[in-house]
């Protein structure tokens, strides 16, 4: 069958002012879309002689909609290193290349990457396409890996912030799959060894070409890379069907909970609000990310007061990074003296009220936007950095094209937008407060 490809080269001539005026991403790239839905972005950037090969699966714990089956997206992060009939020793092959390779899973994605010398591009292409299409593992291997995942769960759940993360999610969400952590509910992880047949079906459903995006960054011949992509990925059979992820109903009122950690910990206060889904073009959405930084970041008045001046708080953090679906905007404070819990909560509430009432300081807002933009640019030093910088855009939109839209939207955000975001999202009816304290008698 003759396959057709759309090959689009974005015009980014380094010396052309018109081309550079409306964009921030400094590198030329090509995008290839195969008839089976597989997409690859080719970006010439980074050090000579090196490539980063990053395969982004747009499936994470968000997609685990079946009751009792949470944790399988993360589980496949483990199983994908088990090898195939063609390459039974994945670790040995990559070690022989001198490649750095790993993977990670989150709520919205599973990402696999290798960083190696450019000369290994074809071998990497063969290796990676083979395991994505032809993964094989026996039931005993599956059970062994399921035991390793349970050990990972137990390790995470016994750390203070792993424990707290679980409690925040299960308190704030009722229906959406963001209710469980990436590793899954404990009961589901314990039941995993009996899920061999389901695991094979999971792989067939989600590891399809329409649901995977390759970002190849570094030093390589684009024409050769195109040829290899045709050769190794065109035969991958399509068939991805997006799961019906349940929408979270509007929260009807504030929620509050205190949880006791069974080990040693300082008190941690978390104040979360229901926020929007990620968008590259919505100003209010971008304003909500800015709000987290100017209201609760290291340069905020609240940070200066609680951490530096009064020393009531050991750390103050904002989790206002947005996800594929509406998620949480969270402020967390690790409190030095348990008696200061109420004072710190009141200070956070006052900061929220102030940003709902007053305009953000113009200089702080401008500096924060500049820091976000130039932090992004300064991070594009290596092939791996360049490819990783594309992950949020690929996961949320399916491609990297939105990077320039996002930073143009960020530039356009005003102090009025930040105030509007505070008024829309930081509302009592959408608030969840979870406080973690040390259990009495804990060692």
Tell me the DSSP string of 263-311. Answer: S----EEEEEEE-PPP-SS-HHHHHHHHHHHHHHSTTSHHHIIIIIIS-
Q: How far apart are CA 438 and CA 266, in angstroms?
A: 7
- pLDDT at position 193: 93
Whose tokens are 């090898």? That residue is: 83
- Alpha-carbon distance of 5 to 18, in angstroms, equals 28
Predicted pLDDT at 59: 97
Q: Count CA atoms closer than 13 A to 319's CA, side-chain side.
A: 16
Q: What is the pLDDT of residue 11?
A: 32
Enter the pTM of the model: 0.92
pLDDT digit string (tens) for the chain, length 443 residues: 323 333 333 333 233 334 444 689 999 999 999 999 999 999 999 989 999 999 999 999 999 999 999 999 999 899 999 999 999 999 999 999 999 999 999 999 999 999 999 999 999 999 999 999 999 999 999 999 888 888 888 888 789 999 999 999 999 999 999 999 999 999 999 999 999 999 999 999 999 999 999 999 999 999 999 999 999 999 999 999 999 999 999 999 999 999 999 999 999 999 999 999 999 999 999 999 999 999 999 999 999 999 999 999 999 999 999 999 999 999 999 999 999 999 999 999 999 999 999 999 999 999 999 999 999 999 999 999 999 999 999 999 999 999 999 999 999 999 999 999 999 999 999 999 999 999 987 76
Q: Where are the domains of the chain?
A: 6-233, 255-438
Distance CA 83, CA 370 (A): 45
CATH number of 6-233: 3.30.830.10
Contact 274, 425 (CB under 8 A): yes
Burial of 14 per CB tally in 10 Å (0-12, 13-18, 19+):
exposed
Strands (E), 10-78: 29-33, 39-44, 50-57
The pLDDT of residue 155: 83
pLDDT at 15: 35
- Quick check: helix, strand or coil at residue 261? strand
- Determine the Cα–Cα distance for residues 94 and 116; give it in Å rounded to an integer: 9
Per-residue pLDDT at 440: 86
Q: Specify the pLDDT at position 6.
A: 30
CA distance 41 to 116: 18
Structure token digits, residue 186: 């404990």
Cα(191)–Cα(394) distance, integer angstroms = 32
State the fold for domain 255-438: Cytochrome Bc1 Complex; Chain A, domain 1 (3.30.830)
E strand residue ranges, 76-219: 100-105, 110-117, 212-218
């Amino acid at each position: 069958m003759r396959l057709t490809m759309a090959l689009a080269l974005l015009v980014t001539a380094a010396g052309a002012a018109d081309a550079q005026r409306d964009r921030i991403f400094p590198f030329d790239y090509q995008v290839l879309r195969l008839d089976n839905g597989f997409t690859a972005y080719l970006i010439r950037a980074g050090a000579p002689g090196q490539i980063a090969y990053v395969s982004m699966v747009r499936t994470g714990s968000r997609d685990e909609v079946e009751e009792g089956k949470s944790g399988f997206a993360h589980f496949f992060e483990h199983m994908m290193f088990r090898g195939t009939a063609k390459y039974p020793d994945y670790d040995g092959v990559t070690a022989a290349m001198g490649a750095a390779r790993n993977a990670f899973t989150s709520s919205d994605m599973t990402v696999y990457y290798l960083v190696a010398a450019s000369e290994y591009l074809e071998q990497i292409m063969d290796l990676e396409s083979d395991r994505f299409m032809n993964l094989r593992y026996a039931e005993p291997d599956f059970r062994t890996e399921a035991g390793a995942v349970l050990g990972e769960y137990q390790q995470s759940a016994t750390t203070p912030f792993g424990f707290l993360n679980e409690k925040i999610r299960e308190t704030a969400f009722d229906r959406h799959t963001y209710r469980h952590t990436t590793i899954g509910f404990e009961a589901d992880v314990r039941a995993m060894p009996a899920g061999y047949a389901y695991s094979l079906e999971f792989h067939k459903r989600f590891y399809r070409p329409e649901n995977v995006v390759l970002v190849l960054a570094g030093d390589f011949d684009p024409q050769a890379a195109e040829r290899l992509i045709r050769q190794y990925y065109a035969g991958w059979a399509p068939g991805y069907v997006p799961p019906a992820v349940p929408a979270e109903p509007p929260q009807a009122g504030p929620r509050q909970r205190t949880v006791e950690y069974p080990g040693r910990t300082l008190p941690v206060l978390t104040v979360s609000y229901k926020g929007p889904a990620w968008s590259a073009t919505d100003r209010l959405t971008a304003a909500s990310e800015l709000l987290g930084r100017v209201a609760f970041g290291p340069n905020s008045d609240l940070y200066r007061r609680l951490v530096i001046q009064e020393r009531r708080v050991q750390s103050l953090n904002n989790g206002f990074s947005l996800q594929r679906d509406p998620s949480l905007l969270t402020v967390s404070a690790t409190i030095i003296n348990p008696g200061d819990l109420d004072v710190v909560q009141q200070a956070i509430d006052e900061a929220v009220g102030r940003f709902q009432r007053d305009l953000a300081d113009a200089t702080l807002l401008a500096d924060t936007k500049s820091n976000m933009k130039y932090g992004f640019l300064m991070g594009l030093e290596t092939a791996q950095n360049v490819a990783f910088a594309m992950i949020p855009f690929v996961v949320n939109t399916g491609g990297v094209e939105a990077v320039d839209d996002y930073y143009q939207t960020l530039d356009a955000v005003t102090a009025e937008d930040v105030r509007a975001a505070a008024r829309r999202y930081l509302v009592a009816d959408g608030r969840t407060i979870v406080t973690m304290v040390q259990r009495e008698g804990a060692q």
